[in-house]
Amino acid sequence: MKTLLIIDAQNDFMPGGALPVPNGDAIVPVINAIQHKFDLVVASQDWHPSNHVSFASNHPNKAEFDEIEIFGKLQTLWPDHCVQNTQGAAFHKDLNTSRWEAIFRKGTDKTIDSYSAFYDNGQIKATGIKGYLKEKGTTQLYLCGLAADICVYYSIVDAVNAGFECTLIQDASKALDAKHFLNLATTLENKGVALITSDTL
């Protein structure tokens, strides 16, 4: 089964949001145009409590984009974003969600961040998406969304490790740091991930 996984296409990651990805809204029409090409469409949604450990505002004397250590891993401190039940956490208003069969929320544990749609950053808590996709019969997993160099990247790595054949749809994804993503793209290709554009679907 050919499945599309849309990562975090939420208002706070769009221009004007709390943590905007440059030209992030450009992916919306692309995602809308390709959904009919898939047997199954699912999405992930960043869904943080307001006291989340990744928010710089919750750390006195720390600034946004500083780094601290959590569970032995470096954690970037972000602006408050995708707080549960806020407009910033909602999906972009122009995104067609009618074909989505499931939404997997992540980052709900205040003590640890969760870039991947599969697990938190410590690989402690699973979202359940792995089992869901396997039960649905997913073999080919196509990923897109925001941000390509963070949540999309880590989701692909976990998906590959889970045994899925993965493809990144590049024009349906945007990176927070485009230069950094160029290096990550090479890493993904070395893992056997195909990098395509939507016109080849």
19-49 residue pLDDT tens? 999 999 999 999 999 999 999 999 999 999 9
Helices (H) and strands (E) in the chain, counts: 4, 8
H or E segment and range at residue 141:
strand 140-146
**Catalytic entry in 82, 144, 151, 166:** 151
Please tell me which residue in 8, 12, 46, 120 is annotated as part of the active site.
8
pLDDT of residue 72: 83
106 is catalytic: yes
Q: What local confidence, expressed as pLDDT, does residue 175 receive?
A: 97
Catalytic residue at 8? yes
Tell me what pLDDT residue 71 has: 78
Residue 93: active-site member: no
The residues of the chain scoring below 70 in pLDDT are none
Among 12, 25, 80, 106, the one annotated catalytic: 106
pLDDT of residue 107: 96
**Of 106, 117, 133, 12, which is closest to residue 52 (Cα–Cα)?**
106
The pTM (predicted TM-score) of the whole model is: 0.96
Chain Cα centroid distance, residue 6: 7
What pLDDT score does 158 carry? 98
The correct answer on CATH 3.40.50.1820 for the domain covering 2-49+90-200 is no
